[in-house]
Amino acid sequence: MDAPAAPGPAPARTGTAREVLLVFGRLGLTSFGGPVAHLGYFHEAFVVRRRWLSEAQYADLVALCQFLPGPASSQVGMAIGLQRAGLRGLLAAWAAFTLPSAVLMVAVAAGVGALGVDAGAGWLLGLKAAAAAVVAHAVITMARSLAPDAPRASIAALAMILVLLIPGPFVQVAAIVAAGLVGAALLGREDAEPGDATPEAAAGSSPAPPGSRRLALGALVAFAVLILGLPLLAAATGDPSLRLADVMYRAGALVFGGGHVVLPLLETGTVQTGMVDAQTFLAGYGAAQAVPGPLFTLSAFLGFSAGGGAGGLVGAAIALGAMFLPGALLVVGALPFWERLRSAPRARRALRGTNAAVVGILAAALYDPVLTQGAASPATLGLAVAALVALMFWRVPAWAVVLAAGAVGAIAL
C-alpha cells in the first residue's frame, strides 16, 4: 500500500484549477456505479495515486459530507477541489465531474442519442463489476489505516451491521454521530492512526486563509436565504423558471445521502405538479443509471423536459445549477469550521471514531448495493475479482480498469 500523505487537516493550496479540472474531467467520464463507487474512485485518484490527501483527511471529508444534505460524493469532490485550489478549484471539480453526465442526460432528453440502458446489457454489467472492485479496494485500503486495531475495527463492524439492518441515510448519520461519541470517550492517543498529527501540528500545518470564515458565513447565509426565498418568489411571480429552480434547490438542500434518495423529492416536485409526466421521469431515471458521474444530473434531464415554458437548454441549465448549488454552499460554509474543530484533542479522538464508522458504512454499501448488483453472477463476480487484482497488485489506474471491464462485459457477458 502506498504511504499516506503528509498529515494535517488539509493540504496546502499548491495546485491549480486547471490541474483539478483535468483530473476530475477524467473521473467525470469514467466514474460509473453511483455515489459509493465515486468515493472509491476519488480514494484511488487522490489518496492512493496522487496523495493530495492522507487516508485520515479523506475519511474526514467523507464524514463531513455525510453530515451535510446534498449529493455526498459530489460534495466530497467539491471539498477536494476547494482545498487544492480554492473556489476556482471547487468550481473546476464540480464542472469537470458533473458536465459529462449532464450533457449525456440532455442528449437523451432531446432524443438525439440512444444510450441502451437495458439493465442486462453486457457493457453495463461490466461497469458495475468494475465499480464493485473499486469500492472493495477503497474499503480494504481505508480499513488498514483507519480501523487497524480492535477498538476501531469494532466500531467499523458495528456501523456496518447497523446500516445493513436499518438502511437509510439518517441511520448513517446516526452511526457516525455515535461513533464520534464513542471515540471521544474511549479512544486515546495509543489508538491514533500512523502519521496522525498532534493537535498543535494539526492546528498549525494549514492555517485557514484570510477571509475564509467570512466567506463561509456568507455561504451559509446565502443557503438559508435561497431556501426560504425561492418558494416565496416563485409563488409571487408565477415564473416557470423560478418554480423549476425552487423545486431543484429544495431537492438538493433537503436530501441526505444523495444518490437514489433524491428521487422521491424530484418525483414530488416534477411529476405530481405536472412539470413532467411519469413516463418521462422513469425514462430519465433509467438513463441516469447508464451514464458516469452523479445521479443528480437527472435534474438536467428533467429541466430540459419540463413543460410550462421552463424547458429546453435554459431549463436544463437552471435545474442543474439549482440542484448542486445548496451542496456547494454548504461545503464552503462548513469546511473552515470543520477544520478548526478537528484540531481540538477531544474532537480528534471523536474523528478517529467517525473515520472507523465511515469504513463500516462503505463496507455495508460494498455489500448492498454494490456487490448485490455488480457481482450477482459467477461471471460478474469473476470480472470484479480480476479488476480488484488489477487495481491492488498491478496498480492499473481505476479509469482504465473501468473501461476494460466495460469492454469485456460487452464482449463476454
pLDDT at 206 over 50: no
For range 100-107, the mean pLDDT: 93
Backbone angles phi, psi at 78, to 5 degrees: -60, -40
The gap from C-alpha 341 to its chain's centroid, in whole angstroms, comes to 22
Looking at 238-273, list the stretches that DSSP marks H as alpha helix, in order from N- to C-terminal side. Answer: 240-254, 263-270
Res 408: pLDDT? 94
Is the pLDDT at 192 greater than 80? The verdict is no
Residue 256 phi/psi, 5-degree rounding, is -105, 135
Query: What's the pLDDT at 207?
Result: 38
Average of per-residue pLDDT across 177-190: 83
How far is 166 from 161, CA to CA, in rounded Å?
8
pTM above threshold 0.85 = no
Cβ distance 117 to 300 under 8 Å? Answer: no
pLDDT in tens, 38-92: 988 999 999 988 999 988 889 888 888 877 888 888 999 999 999 999 999 999 9
Residues 6+ apart with CB under 8 A from 177: none
Q: Which of residues 102 and 340 earns the better pLDDT score?
A: 102
Residue 325 identity: L
Partner residues linked to 69 by β-bridges: 256
CA distances from 45 to 9, 58, 178, 303 (A): 19, 11, 30, 32
Mapped onto helix, strand or coil, the DSSP state of residue 256 is strand
C-alpha span between 330 and 144 (Å, rounded): 30
pLDDT at 271: 84
Per-residue pLDDT of 225-278, as tens digits, reads: 999 999 999 999 989 999 999 999 998 988 765 666 677 778 888 888 888 887
Helix (H) or strand (E) holding 361: helix 345-365
Residue with the larger pLDDT of the pair 165 and 5: 165
* pLDDT value of position 8: 41
- 381-395, pLDDT tens digit by residue? 999 999 999 989 998
Work out the pLDDT band at 169, boundaries 50, 70, 90: low
pLDDT band at 189 (very low <50, low <70, confident <90, very high): low
- Comparing 100 with 119, the larger pLDDT belongs to 100
Evaluate if residue 31 carries a pLDDT over 50: yes
Question: What's residue 352's pLDDT?
Answer: 86
pLDDT at 256: 64
> Are residues 97 and 349 in contact, defined by beta-carbon separation less than 8 angstroms?
no
Residue 69, phi then psi, degrees to nearest 5: -70, 155
**Euclidean distance between the first and the last CA atom of the chain, given in angstroms as a whole number:** 32
- 377 pLDDT band (50/70/90 cuts)? very high
The per-residue pLDDT for 272 is 82
Instruction: Note the pLDDT of residue 267.
Output: 80
Residue type, 282: L
List all residues 6 or more positions away from 16 whose beta carbon is below 8 Å from its beta carbon. Answer: 85, 89
Q: What is the mean pLDDT of the chain?
A: 82
